[in-house]
With several copies, the nearest count.
Chain A
Amino acid sequence: MASETLTDTAAAPDGTDTTPERGLPDGVELARALEAILMVVDEPQSVVGLASAVGRPVKEVRASIAELVADYDGEPAADGTPRPRRGFELREVGGGWRIYVRSELDAVVRDFVHTQTPAKLSQAALETLAVIAYKQPISRGAVASIRAVNVDSVVRTLLGRGLITEAYTDSETGAIHYETTELLLTQLGINSLDELPPISPLLDDGRDGFDDVR
């Protein structure tokens, strides 16, 4: 039956959501409010940000998001009700949650959206980006000494693409230090720098400019 209120007939995580919810209109299920918000957002939304938007505890919002992920992924509900694997999915990328087309369907959707694909980064830009990602915050000079070439024009490209940003300027040397942005995480499809593949300390022989590679 089409219920008039927005109760979650099939996908209630458990029985706890039947109490009136703070910060949400009466009868509005948390999961439904979250999916409504996710329909209009433009940027990845953190659990904390979502929690404050709906006026609910972070823990509850986190659980509700997890349930939505399972729901869209087609996992059966807690009570065993089967659910279809949706054409879209909820992904945590770049520090927050957003709705994506499920990757199997990217080809179907491709013709429908005319997104402008930015030019591919050069090998030099990728390597510079990697150095900054692992050693941030880092000055241009320090990147240049690792790559053994001047990196100014490449740094400019990366700044222009919004993949890195100025973290701070050293008050003594005046050297600008760079760090990576959330946009980089988004473009890598990861959620935090912890997801970068580990890089070895190589030769940990304590030499200047070398021992601090992580």
Chain B
Amino acid sequence: MATPPDATIEVTDGADAALAPPTDVADAPSGFRVSVADFDGPFDLLLSLITKRELDITEVSLSAVTDEFISYLRQLEGADRLDEASEFLVVAATLLDLKIASLLPQGELVDAEDVALLEARDLLFARLLQYRAFKQVSAWFAERIAAETARHVRSVRLEDRFRQKEPELRWTTSLDDFAALALLAFTPRELPSVGLDHLHAPLVSIREQAAHVVGLLRSGEPLTFRQLIAGAEQKGVVVARFLALLELYRHAAVSFEQLEPLGELTVRWSAEHWSDENLVNLGADYGQ
């Protein structure tokens, strides 16, 4: 495929960008504001400041941002705000990377290099900048698609006299194959997930980890996050278990208790009605 030529989007300053960002960061109509020790303003502005390196991300209390973000998510309703939420999620997930890194038990389980990598500030800047560039260029995609949707192309039924000149149809589908095709067509499309075992680090199913966590918590005794990840040998499993907890939290199946930032995280089973069928769709957002 062709390589797009280099360099015109000025990402370090949204106002000068060759492609205007979808919303001006200064007056983004977003309802979510971050208010922490060093910073008070819309979430997008936080991102913008970080990209300008005017604010050191490590000086922003991530737990405070996370708390605000989660409470903001709780208020979100309706499809209109889903986009907004997913946009926040992208940035929040990047910010959360560091929080997850600090949640990971220090010691033999975690590769020290990995933590160093996750903590590398510049890498975070790089990712935010990169994300920002794609976010900006996506506005161009939206505009072009909208403009092109309004166009009308000539696309008419072939005249009968030409129709008759088509090669005769070769039908090779048996009745059973036809029914199988119907079944295929009616089945919601799933992404193929073949060959994942070949991966150096096999993918971890959030759903499976959720099932594991549910099994541990359902008996009633609250457990700490540290206890929940005891015995997990791969970082991926730890992360998946953390995400599974967030998912369960979203379904109001668990509640969290953390007395101080970065303190021990206690998880309590809080589901009033729980059926294991709930697990089926769990992690669907992650395609697991």
Contacts and interface: CB of A to CB of B under 8 A. Distances in A.
Given A188-B173, A198-B8, 16 more contacts: A42-B157, A121-B169, A126-B142, A127-B134, A131-B186, A152-B287, A153-B284, A153-B287, A155-B287, A187-B149, A188-B144, A189-B151, A190-B175, A196-B178, A199-B183, A205-B188
Nearest to A38: B154
Interface stretch (B107-115, B120-128, B208-216): B120-128
Interface string B253-288: 000000000000000000000000000000011111
26 contacts: A99-B153, A101-B151, A106-B161, A109-B162, A113-B165, A120-B170, A120-B172, A121-B142, A130-B182, A130-B185, A131-B182, A147-B90, A147-B131, A148-B97, A152-B286, A152-B288, A153-B155, A173-B199, A175-B195, A188-B175, A189-B147, A196-B175, A199-B134, A200-B9, A203-B126, A207-B188
B4 A198 contact: yes
Given A99-B154, A100-B152, A110-B165, A172 B198 contact: yes
Interface in B4-37: 4-11, 18-19, 22
A123 B87 contact: yes
A110 B165 CA distance: 6
B145 to A, nearest CB: 5
Contacts of A160: 157-158, 163, 166, 189
B138 A127 contact: yes
Interface string A171-214: 01111100110000011111011111111111101010010011
A119 interface: yes
A123 B175 contact: no
A199 B4 contact: yes
B156 A40 contact: yes
Contacts of B135: 127
Residue of A126, A146, A200 with most partner-chain B CB within 10 A? A126
Interface of A: 36, 38-42, 88, 93, 98-101, 103, 106, 109-110, 113-115, 117-124, 126-131, 133-134, 136-137, 140, 146-150, 152-153, 155-156, 159-161, 169, 172-176, 179-180, 186-190, 192-203, 205, 207, 210, 213-214
Given A119-B169, A187-B145, A199-B186, A130 B138 contact: yes
Contacts of A210: 123, 126-127, 130, 186
Residue of A93, A152, A169, A186 with most partner-chain B CB within 10 A? A152
3 tightest A-B CB contacts, nearest first? A174-B195, A152-B287, A130-B182
B134 A130 contact: yes
Contacts of B4: 134, 193-194, 196-199, 214
A150 B287 contact: yes
Given A41-B156, A199-B4, A199-B137, A213 B161 contact: no
Interface of B: 1-11, 18-19, 22, 82-83, 86-87, 89-91, 93-94, 97, 122-123, 125-127, 129-131, 133-135, 137-142, 144-159, 161-163, 165-176, 178-179, 181-192, 194-200, 284-288
A153 B86 CA distance: 12
Contacts of A129: 138, 141
Nearest to A137: B1
Residue of B82, B86, B169 with most partner-chain A CB within 10 A? B169
Contact of B9 (A114, A123, A187, A199): A199
Nearest to A129: B141
Nearest to B182: A130
A205 B194 CA distance: 24
B138 A194 contact: no
Contacts of B89: 149
B167 A119 contact: yes
A40 B166 CA distance: 13
Given A173-B198, A174-B198, A156 B167 contact: no
Given A156-B191, A187-B145, A207 B138 contact: no
Nearest to A146: B130
B140 A201 contact: no
B287 A113 contact: no
A150 B93 CA distance: 10
Nearest to A176: B192
A173 B125 CA distance: 29
Contacts of A114: 165-167
A179 B175 CA distance: 18
B186 A106 contact: no
A200 to B, nearest CB: 4
A155 B172 CA distance: 19
Contacts of A199: 4, 7-9, 133-134, 137, 179, 182-183, 186
